[in-house]
A and B are shown apart, each in its own frame.
Chain A
């Protein structure tokens, strides 16, 4: 028992002394390490982003809370001791981890003077290219009224969108916050979504959605004249919104066209259907609008799928896997279109004939 106690005491004493000694040592060395990191930051970072400053002085006090994520704020002074800029250290959340950077801003003109990436852990050859001057130089003398958005006023790095966006967004946001913290009044610009080259045309299309009157001639090319049977008329088959009658040059009714809605996977699928009255077959169908999954259900728009309905007899079952080929991984959308077209075409033909 006494032996055991002795062992415990010895080990306890040894570890306690060891802990104490290391604590003292740590307290002694840490200020040196931190001071050196700070000189590193000033020498390698702040001098690069505020090249005109002669000396740097730490800024401790500001208005309200120090902006989150901003670790150090220094003011750059010229030889006469006048403040010519602010340099601060902050970190952006990159793809792999924090991207530590030094940012220099000019409060007079409300511009970013320059930025420098101090450390990061982004993927070599991709995200790591945020270090390159071709990227960082874009921030030189950039107005804080700019949105700092990759794709609109900043060119991102190919295949490193997250890293580029992280740097650009953080530089803009933190620069404004730091200046506001120091008592300058910088307004945050109203940030608009970047207009990318591709979608430019699409919004124009969605503003004016396709309606059946735009595609009538496409559905029933032989017809000369179309007459609307009346919108929302009593007795019309459910979900059928508009019906057109098509006449040839002798005034004979040759076809019918109608607009209907199928319940797809992502929502309503609006489509226009053309019927050849004489042969009781489909003349063609056209998808007017839908909200199916891109690349899956959205393929109901493709001609490969739609062409199957051209010339199809109304007495066919309109069943996927039987007489209609569905779209892989989009069974619900395919079935909705096929089933609805079949059912509604028969109902419309019935309705018009009586």
Chain B
């Protein structure tokens, strides 16, 4: 049970695809102009990730090694097209906003990366939890970037006005450079915290050695 929980938590934080592994960077930069589109893009990617990881894990012993990548891509593309059709049928407004980026999930290297690195080697159950963790990690990262850019760029959050009347929109945050600024600052902050924590752990370990030494 612990393993499964680990899989999920790992994707959310320690190996967060967007902030820690920096893979699948196109959507975090391109569709995060608002929190809602970030959230929906993340959920769509998660859905594709879970479906394709599961199927690939099920089929892993049947797929010959030499053609595994084309087979993975066909499976991923099939699920992406299905999601695209579902979005078009059920939530047309969202579909309009995401536009071209939904079909582009096919080439999101996060999905192919998890298929190749995890799902094709691990049991089905763990592939699902891994996909869930990675997908949710991707989703919160996109939503978070979307929140910052929407708040500073348009003065709203999930469509609701937050900033007062006097707030002048930082237009650049809605434009592509805004995505790079936000992304860079978040990664910087997370690395700072990560390094700090690592140093604390080292210190604690050293102290323990000293204590042990004295006692011994």
Contact = CB atoms under 8 A, between A and B. Distances in A.
Contacts of A33: 88-89, 92
A29 B64 contact: no
A25 B88 CA distance: 12
B100 to A, nearest CB: 16
Contacts of A6: 64
Given A11-B70, A21-B78, A22-B82, A36 B64 contact: no
Interface string B57-80: 000001110110011001101100
Given A6-B64, A11-B70, A29 B78 contact: no
A14 B70 CA distance: 10
B71 A36 contact: no
Contacts of A25: 81-82, 85
Interface in B30-68: 62-64, 66-67
Contacts of A14: 71, 74-75
B86 interface: yes
Interface residues of B, number: 19
A10 interface: yes
Contacts of A3: 64, 66
A32 interface: yes
Interface string A26-53: 1001001100100000000000000000
Nearest to B66: A7
B64 A18 contact: no
- Size category of the A interface is 10 to 19
A11 B71 contact: yes
Contacts of B78: 18, 21-22
Interface in B99-156: none
Contact of B92 (A11, A15, A18, A36): A36
Interface string A111-126: 0000000000000000
A145 to B, nearest CB: 40
Contact of A10 (B67, B88, B89): B67
Contacts of B63: 10
A32 B88 CA distance: 9
B70 A29 contact: no
Contact of B85 (A15, A26, A36): A26
A29 B71 contact: no
A18 B75 CA distance: 7
Contacts of B92: 33, 36
Given A6-B64, A10-B64, A11-B70, A29 B75 contact: no
Given A18-B74, A22-B82, A29 B66 contact: no
Interface of A: 3, 6-7, 10-11, 14-15, 18, 21-22, 25-26, 29, 32-33, 36
8 contacts: A10-B67, A11-B70, A11-B74, A14-B71, A18-B75, A22-B82, A25-B82, A32-B90
